[in-house]
Amino acid sequence: MSKTIKYFLLILPAILFLTDLQAQNNTYSPYSRFGIGNITKEGFGRNQALGGIGIGLRDPNHLNYLNPASNSAQDTMSFIFSTGVAGNAMQLASSESSHNVSNITLSHLAIGFPISHWWKTSLGLVPYSQMGYDIVGEDRNLGVEYFHEGSGGINQFFLGNAFNLTQNISAGISVSYMFGSLNQSRRLVFPAQENIFSVNSRSRNTVGDFHIRYGLQYTNRIMEDYTYTIGVIYENKTSLNTEQELLTVNELLTSAGLVRDTVPGDFITNNHIDLPAHYGIGASFRTDNNFLIGADYSFRQWSETSFLNQSSESLVNSSSFNIGAQYIPDPADFQSYLRRIHYRMGFHYSDTYLQLRGHQLKDYGITLGMGLPYRNAKTTFNFAVDLGRRGTTDLNLIEENYIRFNFSLSLYDFWFFQRRID
C-alpha cells in the first residue's frame, strides 16, 4: 500500500497540470481554426520515434494506448508509469512571408498494471485535439479589419483493459472520457469610418462525453527466434454532448468615452460534436533480441460527421500510413552501454481531415529517436524528433514546416514482488 501512495503522490501534480491543458495555447497553427482543431498525433515517446506505429505493436516494458489489446503483454508482477513533455518549433510560410513559433507542454500521463495473469489494465490522460491561432486580415474595399483568435482543445482520460483470450490472441477495450473547451472569437473593426460599431463575437463550446475504442491482436512465432503480431482497432462514430455559449458585443469609441452594446448571449445545451468511425490495421515483426519493424494504416470517416449539428465542407475522410524500425545492438551487453541503446527511426504520411479551396492538406515527415535504458533495469528514457511538413503555399494557403520533439520516461517496477532477506 505504501508504494501505491508513493506513486499517487508522484503523479498527482502532473494530473492537476495536465487537466488544465484545454485552457492553454498548445499550438499556433492557423489550421486549428477548423473543426475541433489540430488532431494530436497518438502515442508516447517510443511510438513517436517509430513513425507513430502502435496498432500491431506489443511490448511488456512499454505502455501503448493505440491498441488497447497490446497491454496484455505486460508482466503479471509489473507496474509501468509513463509521462513526458512535447515541444514544437514551426515555421508558418505563405507565398509572401514567413513566421516562426514554438511551444512546449506536458504530453501525457499513464500507468499500467495487472489485475490477473489474463487481465491487464491501464489508465491515462492525453490530449486529443488542440486549438490555438491568432489571425489578422483586412478587406480594403470595405475598410474592415478582421481579428480571429482561438484557444483550448479536447483531452481524453482513458481506461484500457486488455485480455488474453488464448495463447496467441488478445482483445482490448478502451473507454475514454472526452472533455475540454473550444474557444473562438471574431472581431470586426472599421478604423477609417466614424460612428460605426466594431463587432466582437465569442463562442465557447464545452465538451463532456464518452468514447470507446476496441482492439484485437494476434501474435505467433516463426521458427524459434522470430515473432510477428497483427493488430486491428475500431471506433464507432460518436456524438459528444456539447454546451455552447455565444456572446456578441458592439463597441464604439466616442469623445465621451467607450459605448458598449451587449447582445444577450445564447446558451445551447443540445449541440453535438461528432467523432468519426475509425478503422486501423497494423503489423510488426521482431527478433527475440535486437530488431523490430512495423507498419500501420488507419482511416477516419470525417465526411460523415457534423460540427455543432452542422456538416462542414472543410472536413473530409482522412487516412494515414506509418512505418518504423528499432535496432538494439546487444540488449544483454552490460559492459557497453552504447550497445544497449534502442535506436529508432520511422516515417509517416497523412491525408488530413481538412480540405481548403479544393485541396486536401497533406502531412508527412521522418522520425528519429532513442531509448536510453536506466542502469540494468527495464526503465527507459525515450527521445523522439519528428521533422515534417503540412500544407502548401499554393492557393494562398499556409505551409507549416515543423520540428517536434518528445521526451518521455517509461518507469518499470515490480509491484507485487516481496523481497526476502536470508
pLDDT in tens, 320-347: 999 999 999 998 888 889 999 999 999 9
Q: What is the mean pLDDT of residues 352-365?
A: 94
Give me the pLDDT at residue 38, please.
94
Mean pLDDT of the chain: 88
Most confident of the following: 18-27, 178-187, 278-287: 278-287
pLDDT digits (tens, 9 = 90+) for 42-60: 999 999 999 999 999 999 9
Tell me which H or E stretch contains 33.
none
Query: pLDDT at residue 136 above 50?
Result: yes
Nearest Cα to Cα of residue 324 among 361, 355, 349: 349
> To the nearest whole percent, how much of the chain has pLDDT over 90?
65
User: pLDDT-based confidence at 2, cuts 50/70/90?
Assistant: very low
Residue the block writes with cell 516515417: 347
Residue the block writes with cell 494476434: 218
Give, in words, the CATH class of 2-414.
Answer: mainly beta
> What are the grid coordinates assigned to 108, written together?
501525457
Q: What is the CA radius of gyration of the chain?
A: 24
Nearest Cα to Cα of residue 391 among 94, 111, 162, 57: 94
CA 180 to chain centre: 14
Cut 0.95: pTM above it: no
User: pLDDT-based confidence at 199, cuts 50/70/90?
Assistant: confident
Domain boundaries of the chain, sorted by first residue: 2-414
pLDDT digits (tens, 9 = 90+) for 68-81: 999 999 988 889 99
- The residue ranking higher by pLDDT, 70 or 395, is 70
Nearest Cα to Cα of residue 272 among 313, 314, 238: 238
